[in-house]
Amino acid sequence: MQQAIEVIRGDVGRPKAVSFVNPKGGVHKTTATVLAAATLGSVRGGGVLAWDDNELRGTLGLRAGTARHARTIKHLIHDLTAVETAINQGHGITEVLENYLRHSSDGSFDVLAGDEDPRVARHLDPDTVRRLMTLLTRAYDIVCVDTGNNVESPNWKTVIEQTDRMVITTLPREDSAFTADWMLDLLEEDGYGDLVADGVTILSCPSPIPSPLLDELVDHFSHRTRAVAVIPYDPALESGSTISFSGIAEQTRRAWLDASAALVQGWGQ
């Protein structure tokens, strides 16, 4: 455990963007984004943001905890030019962004919440996504992006283009793993073979009963991505409500320490 902590605390070099991906719903993308951000932020002492980039009613803002205000990505997009101007004029970036971001329940990371209005998606064109990523990585060492499910959307493709490391989330189930595999094939065809090979696969167990497919999928994804981490079942995550990092089981925290160490491994070298 101490070795994982030391790896997580290491220098990451320039700011990094991490995308959590799988076009299938219900594969713990949001849960993984929250718990990775919480682990990284807790161990590193801050400098981590979780961005809910789901195009249709993402729940990261709800699951991450405290909402000091109701502002979401919609408000940041609306004010984006004014925000960029204020920062370029010398206003502190943290102070300016404070009006649009929320804090996690334990304060270990910040959150850019998604919006319930599906019309916001039409404003997430490639130029806007790039501007948002530039802004957020100026303010944070690590930006964790909870992506949507449409791999053909300009938003999804632009986030992948801006990604430094990819986290593939799946369950030890055939349908979830098949969709992840199909997505990796598509990314390789589009020229992202290096990003795929450098990825980290998170296999989250949705039940206390071990899946007969778990070992097979660990072996399979270890040949497709750089690392594979298995997250045990935790009843504290079943309700779908706010995730409290301090409220999850010790073995879950240890698993996320190992997963997060794999996530940042090799940066800053």
Residue 116 has a pLDDT of: 73
Per-residue DSSP letter, 211: P
Whole-number Å distance between alpha carbons of 207 and 216: 17
> pLDDT tens across 115-140, in order?
777 777 778 899 999 999 999 999 99
Residue 26 has a pLDDT of: 85
- CB burial readout 157-187, b (16+ within 10 A) else e: ebbbebbbbbbbbbbbbeebbebbbebbeeb
> pLDDT tens across 196-243, in order?
999 999 999 999 998 999 999 999 999 999 999 999 999 888 765 677
> pLDDT tens across 33-84, in order?
999 999 999 999 999 999 989 876 666 666 566 656 678 898 999 999 999 9
Per-residue DSSP letter, 243: -
pTM for this model (two decimals): 0.94
